[in-house]
Amino acid sequence: MRPVLDYSEEENARRHAGLTEALSAGAEFLTSGGNSLGAVQRAVRVLENAPDFNAGRGAALTHEGHAELDASIMDGRNRCAGAVASLRRVKNPIDLARCVMERSRHVFLVGEGAEQYALRQGIVLIEPTYFVTEQRAKELQEAIEKESFSEAQASMQVSGTVGAVALDCNGNLAVATSTGGMTNKRYGRVGDSPLIGAGAYAENGLCAVSATGWGEYLIRAAVAHDVCARVKYAGEPVERAAKHVIEEVGRMGGYGGLIAVDAKGRIAMPYSSATMARGYAVAGKEAVVVLGDRPDAAKQ
């Protein structure tokens, strides 16, 4: 079952503006001499702050009405990575994910422990009510009212992720992914977004990949790593590798999409979900943003 999301013209205008701002933030950082890691962090931070995306403020809500946030980041130069999950007070989870990668001995921190670490590292914490928007509260109530269906169906009312991949002028690849997960989730559920190899993966010389969709299937298919593995071991172009991986998720019974860029700057953005807002920016050219709602519209 693929959730069908009907956005108004006003909502689509805000989503378009948010993606454009995120692309500009990343591209401007690269143009000024910054690296790919900083570019993806900046792009995702913009989307975490925009209430029309399922990450940070405006994230999907749990059954109890909380926003529980997950994020990951990976540096293709050395395959260092940082990830966080089940956060309720960290304003920008992607900042904490990078902090975990660069300042700790660990890769993955969760829940209260992650927020204690954030406090010690000077990461901005905020009241949980900041993340809750009227629209997400309405979606949660609608999902709860449909509880007569299976729990999985009720939980699938809203899903989504924000992510960014980048290639800098030195050939360095990086990825960042952030999400609020599924509406009406419970039991401490965590999806693919903070899992290195599932929701995010980057390796210099190959590609950087960020995934979105039904996390339980994306985890099982290790989608982000599988794209890179197909490029590395099978010699597939990134476009073909990405398409094959999304098709495999479909054969398993799931759906999703991904964005990827390879070491030569070639881009892939396939998806099988009902919609996937996406965009890209190339040095010296105007950014492109697409809010298509058909899988065949994802051809770039």
Positions marked active-site: 161
Tell me which residue has tokens 């975990």: 100
Contacts (Cβ under 8 Å, ≥6 apart) of 295? 270, 271, 272, 273
- The three-state DSSP-derived secondary structure of 231-260 is HHHCCCCHHHHHHHHHHHHHHHCCCEEEEE
- Give the whole-angstrom CA distance, residue 217 versus residue 23: 28
Contact (CB, 8 A) for 265 and 167: yes
**CB distance 96 to 107 below 8 Å:** no
- Contact (Cβ atoms closer than 8 angstroms) between residue 161 and residue 179: yes
- Helices of type H across 32-128: 36-49, 93-103, 111-120
